[in-house]
């Protein structure tokens, strides 16, 4: 067979598999390229910053001055107490907490501020230093007095390697639930008709979610074992991590199978799920916190349940926090799981009508 004939044969192959090939060579690369656009500068310009009065002596005028100073590098958000602001810091709702002293109108004494940053958010360590220095400069000019802003880091010291463990865990969860599970289900598509004579298609799918969900525990155990050998201080099997990982598997696994059955268990569905996984990875803040995103992209990230899963898993592994602090995050993930299961049921109904 000469070269022309071989090229003609490949052209026919491409035409027959046009949909998955286009998804592979267009959607996936474009998704990864899009992921590079969600990050801003080394020092974020729209990072949410908590502004907290130190005590009753802090006036509204004092707070207004600090809000104006924060505008240079972030978006000021008001909190009534330092404890609530620190909770928001742990939940990655804000990335700096500025405690504002009273009496800023008194030009005879220096103004001493306390700035809190979470030591566990490793990519934000250098930007938090730079932001504190910017705050010093801005308030010096606004107040016309000596300003001392002391940066205090909360939480345990975390290395970059330890910080990447939750990122790798969510990455694994996404591939496991969105790609591997639907692919495994598709491999059994030829026996669906026989299975349906003994049980409903819903029961078959439910058994997949249960069994592969339980097997996910082995994956978490493997991560825990490796990190223990490496001497990392990551609590991979903490209750918060296990809850968040379980809910994430359900809503991603149900979504992946909904796509699979909606597309008639075709091979193209696997590539669609791969593209979906790429978008999820790019938009959810797996590595950089959403404080590095532009405001619009940050809002998109906060609309995704995978963002809350990432925060919960990162917090559960790297911080000594109460599970109930993330109750609303877990509730949002549970709601996403219910909606995904509903979509899966609709796709099963559609699949039965096709076959």
Pairing of strands 74-78, 96-100: unpaired
Average pLDDT, rounded, for the chain: 82
Q: Say whether both 242 and 316 belong to one domain.
A: yes
**Whole-Å CA distances, 150 to 97, 111, 112, 115:** 11, 11, 8, 6
- Rounded CA separation 204/211 (Å): 11
- Which pLDDT belongs to residue 246? 95
Host domain of residue 219: 160-354
Residue 342 counted as domain residue: yes
Q: Say whether both 149 and 252 belong to one domain.
A: no
- pLDDT confidence tier of residue 39, bands split at 50, 70 and 90: very low
- Which pLDDT belongs to residue 87? 92
Q: Say whether both 244 and 338 belong to one domain.
A: yes
Q: Say whether both 146 and 182 belong to one domain.
A: no
Mean pLDDT of 148-157: 86
Domain count, the chain: 2
In terms of average pLDDT, the best of 30-44, 110-124, 336-350 is 336-350
Evaluate if residue 36 carries a pLDDT over 50: no
pTM of the model: 0.83
DSSP codes of every residue in 267-315: HHHHHHHHHHHHHHHHHTTSSS-GGGS-HHHHHHHHTSHHHHHHHHHHH
Final residue of a domain: which of 113, 133, 154? 154
- The HSE-up count of residue 54 (CA atoms within 13 Å, CB side) is 17
Q: Which two tokens stand for residue 183?
A: 């692919």
| CATH number of the domain to which 133 belongs | 3.40.50
Q: Which two tokens stand for residue 111?
A: 């103004």
Q: Say whether both 213 and 337 belong to one domain.
A: yes
- Which pLDDT belongs to residue 184? 86
Could you read off the pLDDT of 216-255 as tens digits, one per residue? 888 899 999 999 998 988 999 999 999 999 999 999 999 9
Residue 15 counted as domain residue: no
Instruction: Mean pLDDT check: name the lowest of 4-18, 214-228, 251-265, 272-286.
Output: 4-18
Final residue of a domain: which of 154, 179, 196? 154
Q: Say whether both 148 and 215 belong to one domain.
A: no
Could you read off the pLDDT of 80-107 as tens digits, one per residue? 889 999 999 999 889 899 998 887 777 7
Q: Say whether both 150 and 167 belong to one domain.
A: no
Q: Say whether both 172 and 140 belong to one domain.
A: no
Per cent of the chain over pLDDT 90 is 30
Q: Say whether both 122 and 225 belong to one domain.
A: no
- Rounded CA separation 139/116 (Å): 17
Q: Say whether both 108 and 169 belong to one domain.
A: no
Q: Say whether both 168 and 148 belong to one domain.
A: no
Query: Could you tell me which residue, 145 or 6, shows the higher pLDDT?
Result: 145
Could you read off the pLDDT of 163-173 as tens digits, one per residue? 989 998 999 99
Evaluate if residue 197 carries a pLDDT over 60: no
Final residue of a domain: which of 95, 121, 154? 154
- pLDDT confidence tier of residue 54, bands split at 50, 70 and 90: confident
Instruction: Mean pLDDT check: name the lowest of 139-143, 169-173, 314-318.
Output: 139-143
Evaluate if residue 288 carries a pLDDT over 80: no
Query: Could you tell me which residue, 26 or 287, shows the higher pLDDT?
Result: 287
Q: Say whether both 55 and 74 belong to one domain.
A: yes
């Amino acid at each position: 067979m000469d070269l022309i004939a071989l090229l003609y044969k490949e052209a026919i192959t491409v035409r027959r598999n046009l949909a998955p090939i286009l998804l592979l060579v267009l959607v996936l690369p474009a998704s990864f390229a899009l992921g590079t656009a969600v990050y801003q500068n080394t020092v974020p310009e729209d990072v949410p910053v908590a502004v907290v009065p130190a005590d009753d002596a802090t006036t509204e005028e004092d707070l207004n001055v600090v809000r104006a100073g924060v505008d240079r590098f972030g978006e000021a958000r008001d909190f009534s107490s330092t404890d609530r602001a620190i909770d928001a810091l742990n939940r990655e709702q804000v990335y700096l907490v500025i405690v504002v002293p009273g009496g800023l109108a008194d030009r005879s004494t220096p103004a001493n501020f306390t700035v809190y940053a979470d030591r566990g958010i490793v990519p934000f360590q250098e930007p938090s230093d730079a932001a504190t220095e910017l705050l010093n400069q801005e308030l010096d000019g606004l107040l016309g007095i000596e300003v001392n802003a002391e940066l205090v880091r909360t939480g345990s010291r975390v290395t970059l390697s330890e910080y990447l463990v939750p990122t790798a865990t969510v990455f694994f969860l996404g591939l496991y639930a969105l790609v591997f599970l639907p692919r495994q289900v598709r491999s059994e598509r030829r026996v669906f008709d026989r299975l349906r004579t003994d049980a409903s298609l819903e029961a078959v799918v439910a058994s997949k979610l249960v069994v592969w969900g339980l097997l996910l525990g082995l994956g978490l155990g493997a991560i825990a074992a490796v990190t223990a050998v490496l001497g990392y201080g990551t609590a991979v099997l903490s209750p918060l991590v296990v809850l968040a990982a379980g809910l994430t598997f359900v809503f991603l696994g149900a979504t992946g199978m909904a796509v699979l059955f909606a597309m008639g268990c075709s091979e193209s569905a696997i590539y669609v799920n791969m593209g979906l996984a790429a978008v999820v990875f790019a938009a959810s803040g797996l590595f950089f916190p959403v404080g590095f995103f532009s405001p619009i992209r940050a809002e998109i990230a906060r609309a995704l349940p995978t963002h809350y899963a990432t925060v919960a898993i990162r917090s559960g592994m790297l911080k000594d926090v109460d599970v109930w602090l993330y109750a609303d995050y877990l509730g949002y993930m549970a709601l996403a799981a219910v909606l995904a299961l509903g979509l899966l049921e609709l796709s099963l109904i559609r699949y039965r009508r096709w076959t």
